[in-house]
């Protein structure tokens, strides 16, 4: 591979974080004792958007079917209910200046709330929430890997489909991959619709990691079989859950192999903290420009540009056609692969009476951006302290040369992809910025396929 398309390993050790008390993380990111589902029985909601076919439809060259499912989120939540700040009204009643002031006040309030939580500690609670997931499974032969995909902030589970199509277009990958699970965080997409009226809290990256652990321990079916699954996936047997808590998927009698997690941006941070909390669930991590950045002590004392952008985002249209037209007027959306944009119009929006709205509201997107000041540095510090098990293979997929970087400091990106140098590699996706999943899904899918084929030869021997 050309040297310009990888970051070479630094000749010196990566410098450590600032010596600050709030960066002295102790214990695991998520204690397994805090991971458990809500008590049964729960009223079972219907799918907000129904079942659909994948974009490859009935193309027999990609013999994978799609079904959509619901599971409970973790019952323990780190953050208490609060009164969220007001955001600009969607009815056009505010002047431009009033909107600007409203957005700035909302950003300030969210940062103040987060500072208060970090300084005074959280007030956890129990709350029953739901998660929505897509499952892609090979139609015929059994055997193979299970992959898990986690989206970036502001996106939805279907945004991965062009990448998955590229991955599964290879016969070699088809021979290795039995099933793929793609989730939506509790305040995103269809999950957000299921949890409508219950999202009046901040959200910590650890909360999302706890939700992922809850799914993997208590709800991921015992075998990646061919049988259809119900919409509401039942809990695994208590004996199986206890085996997973103790040994993950490394137990000699486990019917499953450890999984490969693929996470983009916010989803990469979640995947990393989850793997640190229970490494025996994972074989490998493929991180797509994850929000794992050097700690910035001033983060909560300066306006969040991404948070401000989210708070000011338009969230309603007269029709999907009207929404698409508006998206195509923006350089941001025009840079996307057309299939990704089609899926955004189809699956990131929903019909609310006579209005089309974003499933992920601007305030929820802003809440996640504001949390970058806690989740991102925790993942950075823990990687620097080598807390990710060296057995877990690690690949970073990063923006191409000449593209903006999450951390603009000199050599910051090179340093972060080598925070844990053992069993690690990286690749730069030519022509793409941070939104690799949206801008270059075909290239990304091929890189994931290569990663599976190159770094998991033992899997091929098992099949």
Closest Cα partner for 10 from 416, 382, 376? 416
> What are the tens digits of pLDDT across the range 329-363?
999 999 999 999 999 999 999 999 999 999 999 99
Question: What is the number of structural domains in the chain?
Answer: 1
> What are the tens digits of pLDDT across the range 78-117?
989 999 999 987 667 789 999 999 999 999 999 999 988 8
Average pLDDT over residues 282-287: 98
Q: What are phi and psi of 239, to 5 degrees?
A: -65, -40
pLDDT for residue 457: 58
d(Cα 373, Cα 150) in Å, to the nearest integer? 20
Q: Parallel, antiparallel, or unpaired for β 349-352 and 355-358?
A: antiparallel
pLDDT for residue 463: 38
The answer, yes or no, to whether residue 460 has pLDDT greater than 60, is: no
Q: What is the SS3 assignment for 398?
A: strand
The answer, yes or no, to whether residue 251 has pLDDT greater than 90, is: no
d(Cα 185, Cα 194) in Å, to the nearest integer? 11
- For every residue of 118-176, DSSP letters joined together read HHH----EE---EEEEEEEEESS----EEEEEEPPTT--GGGGHHHHHHHHTSHHHHHH
Cβ pair 380, 416 in contact under 8 A: yes
d(Cα 236, Cα 217) in Å, to the nearest integer? 8
Strands, sheet with 355-358, edge to edge from the N-terminal-most edge strand: 316-317, 355-358, 349-352
Closest Cα partner for 379 from 29, 114, 9? 29
- For residue 137 the two structure tokens come to 């499974």
pLDDT for residue 2: 58
Query: Percent of the chain beyond pLDDT 90?
Result: 84
Give 461's pLDDT tier (boundaries 50, 70, 90): very low
pLDDT for residue 90: 64
Q: How far is CA 263 from the centre of its chain?
A: 5
Residue 409 vs residue 436, higher pLDDT: 436
Query: Please, what is the average pLDDT of the chain?
Result: 94
Give 462's pLDDT tier (boundaries 50, 70, 90): very low
- For residue 177 the two structure tokens come to 């991959």
Helix, strand, coil percent values for the chain (each to nearest 5)? 40, 15, 45
Q: Parallel, antiparallel, or unpaired for β 355-358 and 316-317?
A: antiparallel
Cβ pair 258, 146 in contact under 8 A: no
CATH number of residue 218's parent domain: 3.40.50.1820
> What are the tens digits of pLDDT across the range 120-138?
887 899 999 999 999 999 9
Alpha carbon dihedral 203, 298, 15, 369, in 10-degree steps, equals 30
Instruction: Provide the residue range defining the domain that includes 16.
Output: 3-462
């Amino acid at each position: 591979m050309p040297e310009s398309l990888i970051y070479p390993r630094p000749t010196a050790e990566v410098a450590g974080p600032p010596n600050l008390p709030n960066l002295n993380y102790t214990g695991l990111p998520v204690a397994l004792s805090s991971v458990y589902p809500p008590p049964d029985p729960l009223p079972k909601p219907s799918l907000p958007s129904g079942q659909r076919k994948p974009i490859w439809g009935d193309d027999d060259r990609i013999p994978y079917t799609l079904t959509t499912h619901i599971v409970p989120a973790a019952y323990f939540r780190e953050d208490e209910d609060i009164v969220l700040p007001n955001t600009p009204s969607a009815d056009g009643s505010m002047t431009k200046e009033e909107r600007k002031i409203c957005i700035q006040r909302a950003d300030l309030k969210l940062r103040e709330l987060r500072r208060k939580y970090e300084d005074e500690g959280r007030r956890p609670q129990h709350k029953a929430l739901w998660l929505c997931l897509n499952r892609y499974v090979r139609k015929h032969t059994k055997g193979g890997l299970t992959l898990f995909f986690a989206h970036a902030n502001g996106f939805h589970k279907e945004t991965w489909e062009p990448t998955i199509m590229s991955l599964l277009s290879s016969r070699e990958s088809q021979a290795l991959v039995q099933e793929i699970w793609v989730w939506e965080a509790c305040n995103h997409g269809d999950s957000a619709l299921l949890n409508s009226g219950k999202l009046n809290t901040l959200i910590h990256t650890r909360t999302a990691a706890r939700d992922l652990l809850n799914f993997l321990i208590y709800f991921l079916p015992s075998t990646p079989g061919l049988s259809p699954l119900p919409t509401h996936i039942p809990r695994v047997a208590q004996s199986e859950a206890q085996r997973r808590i103790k040994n993950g998927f490394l137990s000699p009698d486990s019917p499953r192999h450890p999984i490969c997690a693929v996470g983009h941006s916010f989803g990469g941070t979640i995947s990393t903290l989850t793997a640190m909390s229970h490494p025996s669930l994972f074989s490998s991590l493929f991180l797509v420009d994850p929000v794992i950045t050097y700690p910035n002590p001033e983060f909560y004392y300066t306006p969040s540009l991404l948070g401000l952008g989210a708070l000011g985002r338009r969230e309603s249209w007269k029709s999907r056609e009207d929404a698409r037209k508006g998206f195509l007027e923006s350089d941001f959306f025009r840079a996307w692969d057309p299939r990704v944009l089609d899926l955004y119009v189809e699956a990131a929006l929903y019909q609310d009476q006579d209005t089309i709205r974003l499933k992920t509201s601007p305030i929820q997107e802003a809440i996640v951006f504001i949390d970058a000041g806690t989740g991102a540095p925790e993942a950075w510090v823990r990687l620097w302290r080598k807390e990710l098990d060296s057995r877990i293979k690690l690949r970073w997929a990063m923006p191409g040369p000449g593209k903006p970087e999450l951390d603009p400091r000199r050599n910051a990106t090179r340093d972060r992809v080598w925070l844990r140098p053992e069993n690690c590699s990286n690749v730069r996706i030519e022509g793409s910025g941070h939104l690799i999943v949206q801008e270059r899904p075909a290239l990304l899918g091929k890189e994931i396929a290569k990663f599976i084929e190159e770094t998991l030869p033992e899997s091929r021997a098992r099949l």
